[in-house]
A = this chain, B = another copy of it.
């Protein structure tokens, strides 16, 4: 591997990778704005500043594109939630940690969060996407269960508690997304406290 090929790799590869990413980003925006069926592939091409045909050099079909997008973003969310999670911290701290990690993701990638919300269980998601969906969701749920197992959380059906907390989280993020509240650090912390109150033993 000499310098020339190295340089070529550095400029050519990113160019290809950039284009792929531009398509994914454009698709993300449009799917959030208008939904999957409400978005035309050529519109994605225009927003990504590529030719319509180019999309099909990176993705086999519109459905493959939405699935790829879903998997990458869901995977990213999963990684951020679970990677290096403090397995032995006190339950209250673990809850807070989970909340803050989710919130960090939602604040940094509001559209990705909205996209994942919107496409939850959509019928054009393929088996592979559903597998990842299950894996991440169950991972998050397992965390909550482990908190509950230590008796510091109400003794209710775990899925119910997950529904409450995750639902509340979604509600807060959506209120922020729609501009009804600012999402300051204080608000985030206050909301987290509320949710802990909801489920603490």
Query: What is the distance, in angstroms, from A33's C-beta to the closest C-beta of chain B?
Result: 7
Query: What is the distance, in angstroms, from A158's C-beta to the closest C-beta of chain B?
Result: 9
Interface residues of A (CB under 8 A from B): 33-38, 121-123, 154, 156-157, 159-172, 174-176, 178, 180-181, 187, 190-191, 194-195, 197-200
Cβ contact within 8 Å between B197 and A160: no
Cβ contact within 8 Å between B178 and A174: no
Are A157 and B35 CB-contacts (below 8 A) given A195-B164, A198-B195? no
Cβ contact within 8 Å between B187 and A157: yes
Q: How many copies does the complex hold?
A: 4
Query: What is the distance, in angstroms, from A107's C-beta to the closest C-beta of chain B?
Result: 15
Cβ contact within 8 Å between A198 and B194: yes
Are A164 and B191 CB-contacts (below 8 A) given A33-B123, A38-B36? yes
**A154 CB contacts on chain B under 8 angstroms:** 190, 194
Are A163 and B171 CB-contacts (below 8 A) given A37-B35, A123-B34, A194-B198? yes
Give the residue of B36, B156, B166 whose beta carbon is less than 8 angstroms from that of A171. Answer: B166
> In the assembly, what is the distance between CA of A156 and CA of B200, in Å?
20
